[in-house]
Amino acid sequence: MSHQSPNREELRLYQELGFHPRSLVWPKMEILLGLLAVSVGHLLSIYTIVHAGPRYFWLLVAASVVLQSLGGYLALAGHRSHLYQAQNKLTAWLAAQIAKRA
C-alpha cells in the first residue's frame, strides 16, 4: 500500500484552515483492531453457547456483546477518518478548480 503525500492544493487548504495533514496509520489500526474485537466477540459468543456452564454464561454473553459493540464502533470510527481525509482531498481539488475559473 503506498502512502500519498498531500498535494499543493490540499496543503494550502490545511494551512488556511489552521489544520495539519494527518497520517492514515491510526485509522487503519482502528479498523483492524475493531474488526479483531468483533471477531473475538463472535467467537466468544459461540464458545459461550456451546461450552459455558450456567455459572459464567451471562457474564460471557455480556462480554461478547460489549466486544462486538465496541469493536464495531472502533472499526466505523477508523472508516470515518478515511472518509474525512477523502473529503479534504476533494474539497481542496474543488477549491483549486473554482480558483482557476475566477
- Please write the tens of the pLDDT for every residue from 8-61: 777 777 777 777 767 778 889 999 999 999 999 999 999 999 988 888 899 999
| Pairwise CA distance, residues 20 & 75, whole Å | 23
Residue 73 lies in a domain: yes
Residue 2 lies in a domain: no
Count of structural domains within the chain: 1
**In this structure, what C-alpha cell is assigned to residue 101?**
475559473
Residue 1 lies in a domain: no
Q: Rounded mean pLDDT of 80-85?
A: 86
Whether 29 contacts 69, CB under 8 Å: no
Residue 19 lies in a domain: no
Residue 35 lies in a domain: yes
Residue 59 lies in a domain: yes
Is pLDDT above 50 for 1?
no
User: Structural domain of residue 78, as residue ranges?
Assistant: 8-14+24-101
Residue 34 lies in a domain: yes
Whether 37 contacts 71, CB under 8 Å: yes
Instruction: State the pTM of this model.
Output: 0.72
Reported as a pLDDT band with limits 50, 70 and 90, residue 2 is: very low
